[in-house]
Amino acid sequence: MQKQVTIIGSGIVGAVTAYYLSADPDLNVTIYDEGIGQATKNSAGIISPWLSKRRNQRWYQLAKAGAALYPEIVADTQMGYSVYQQAGTIVTREDPADLEALYQLALQRRADAPQMGTIEKLTAAEVADRIPLLTRAQPGVFVSGGARVDGDKFAHNLLKYAEKRNLVRHKGKVTLNEHGQLMTPHGQQNYDTLILAVGAWLKPLLLPMRMVAKVRPQKGQLIEFQLPETWADDVPVLMPEGERDFIPFTRSKLVVGATHENDQGYDLQVSPLVEEDLFASGQKLDANLTMDQISQVKVGTRAYTPDFSPFFGPIPDNPHILVASGLGSSGLTTGPMIGKLLADYVQTGHHDWNQYQLPVETYLEEAD
Ligand SMILES: Cc1cc2nc3c(=O)[nH]c(=O)nc-3n(C[C@H](O)[C@H](O)[C@H](O)COP(=O)(O)OP(=O)(O)OC[C@H]3O[C@@H](n4cnc5c(N)ncnc54)[C@H](O)[C@@H]3O)c2cc1C
């Protein structure tokens, strides 16, 4: 008999999990999504974890593995360069000593991350040459394996791919009762395995089960420009020192962002002051940008844990309910690996995730 796997949330985690599970003909997979505030849809799209200063080794292993999965998934599903492209990333540093330290870190990290590709130390003029939009540049380190992804299109394509196999999609909000029964817009639904890939909304969803997820929401905004000029498809992403990230997408779309607003809860309003601040940051790099070229302001909600680490897996004492949350500001990078590991667990019933995370219990506690 086929098993019923139900996924809640169709962001990067839900979509990648559905993609991997779609290869299994013994499963019926259903996904529900309420369709609000999704971080994946509103993200900047930088995939380049290797030069991060974070000391968290578990996070790094997860992010490195996630970044390495993209080319495989993209090739398998035949997504084009408007969805994902390894155009390279440049991280800048003004101080020559800092630049050299960053370059050495890159060389060291590449020893066990061959997907980083070519590493080059660039002068300010060389950086400006690689990113013709810049009117002001700093020296930087170029990593050819760095990529940009359109999170919205990536997740959408995976869901479409899985729908051709064993996935059924529904729109709508679900809730759980105290026994973990699933209430959907179509009434109560049974499941063999339930996967809660709900990002920043895990806490309210689990509360009726008297379980508190240690996750808080963080608001993130970014601006998108539609520019009159076009540029080559392989212009790298810029992660400048002290300014917002600068992400030229294919041809004439430029993204500048993002903010990290910790005091706004689940608010999804665009704030004009923040828009101006993001614009000013973009203009410091490209003095020709104008406000009327802003085509969109995007707002999303990230999920954070107290130690900034993602967590995933079965909840204590219930192997049938899995959770994944806390992906923070690098969830497009870690998300594919988390989705793959969850799918593996559904199929095998086993896991050995110590290299990637602390036990899930660390992030879940009983309600008073
Ligand atoms: C502005 C911004 C910029 C970012 N830039 C980057 C970047 O450059 N690189 C990077 O690696 N990461 C980036 N991130 C982080 C990344 O986008 C997130 O960490 C990641 O997308 C989280 O994915 P998720 O699947 O866990 O959650 P989400 O994408 O938030 O998906 C959760 C889904 O669950 C649904 N849901 C919740 N509750 C319910 C319910 N009760 N019933 C039904 N559906 C429900 C929601 O509607 C939502 O669609 C950025 C995030 C933001 C906001």
> Is the per-residue pLDDT at 12 higher than 80?
yes
Residues 118 and 242 in one domain: yes
High-pLDDT (> 70) share of the chain, %: 100
Q: Is 329 in the pocket of ligand 1 (CB under 6 A)?
A: yes
- Which of 332, 333, 337, 341 best tests ligand 1's pocket when mutated (most atoms within 8 Å of CB)? 332
Residues 237 and 298 in one domain: yes
pLDDT for position 208: 97
Q: How far is the CA of 301 from the centre of ligand 1 (A)?
A: 6
Q: How far is the CA of 12 from the centre of ligand 1 (A)?
A: 7
Residues 239 and 295 in one domain: yes
User: Where residue 120 sits, what CATH number does that domain have?
Assistant: 3.30.9.10
191 assigned to some structural domain: yes
Q: Which atom of ligand 1 is nearest to the CA of 14?
A: 25
Residues 197 and 239 in one domain: no
Average pLDDT over residues 70-92: 96
Residues 231 and 136 in one domain: yes
> Is the per-residue pLDDT at 308 higher than 90?
yes
Mean pLDDT of the chain: 96
Residues 266 and 333 in one domain: no
β strands within 153-293, DSSP E: 167-171, 175-176, 182-184, 187-189, 193-196, 211-213, 216-226, 237-239, 245-248, 253-257
> Is the per-residue pLDDT at 88 higher than 90?
yes
Q: How far is the CA of 201 from the centre of ligand 1 (A)?
A: 10
pLDDT band at residue 368 using 50, 70 and 90 as cut-offs:
confident
Output 243 or 257, whichever has higher pLDDT.
Answer: 257
Q: Which atom of ligand 1 is nearest to the CA of 32?
A: 43
Residues 228 and 178 in one domain: no
283 assigned to some structural domain: yes
pLDDT for position 63: 98
User: Where residue 354 sits, what CATH number does that domain have?
Assistant: 3.50.50.60
Q: In terms of C-beta density within 10 A (0-12 exposed, 13-18 middle, 19 or more buried), how is residue 316 classed?
A: middle
Q: How far is the CA of 271 from the centre of ligand 1 (A)?
A: 20
pLDDT for position 34: 95
Q: Which domain holds residue 335?
A: 3-41+152-215+307-366
Residues 221 and 292 in one domain: yes
80 assigned to some structural domain: no
47 assigned to some structural domain: no
**For the chain, what is the domain count?**
2
Residues 315 and 207 in one domain: yes
> Is the per-residue pLDDT at 350 higher than 80?
yes
Residues 273 and 356 in one domain: no
Q: Is 299 in the pocket of ligand 1 (CB under 6 A)?
A: no
Q: How far is the CA of 303 from the centre of ligand 1 (A)?
A: 8
pLDDT band at residue 140 using 50, 70 and 90 as cut-offs:
very high
Q: How far is the CA of 107 from the centre of ligand 1 (A)?
A: 31
pLDDT for position 230: 80
Average pLDDT over residues 132-150: 96
Encode pLDDT of 174-216 as tens digits: 999 999 999 999 999 999 999 999 999 999 999 999 999 999 9
- Owner of token pair 């008297």: 210
96 assigned to some structural domain: yes
pLDDT band at residue 37 using 50, 70 and 90 as cut-offs:
confident
Structure tokens of 138? 């700093």
Residues 349 and 317 in one domain: yes
Q: Is 30 in the pocket of ligand 1 (CB under 6 A)?
A: no
Q: What are phi and psi of 228, to 5 degrees?
A: -70, -30
Q: Is 146 in the pocket of ligand 1 (CB under 6 A)?
A: no
Average pLDDT over residues 247-257: 90
> Is the per-residue pLDDT at 55 higher than 90?
no
Residues 133 and 239 in one domain: yes
DSSP H or E segment with residue 13: helix 12-21
76 assigned to some structural domain: no
Residue nearest to atom 33 of ligand 1 (CA): 9
Q: How far is the CA of 196 from the centre of ligand 1 (A)?
A: 13
> Is the per-residue pLDDT at 36 higher than 90?
no
Nearest CA-CA partner of 38 in 197, 248, 215: 197
Q: What are phi and psi of 94, to 5 degrees?
A: -75, -45
Question: 311 near 305, Cβ under 8 Å?
Answer: yes
Q: Is 173 in the pocket of ligand 1 (CB under 6 A)?
A: yes
Nearest CA-CA partner of 154 in 245, 214, 85, 201: 85
> Is the per-residue pLDDT at 53 higher than 90?
no
Encode pLDDT of 206-251 as tens digits: 999 999 999 999 999 999 999 988 888 889 999 999 889 999 987 7
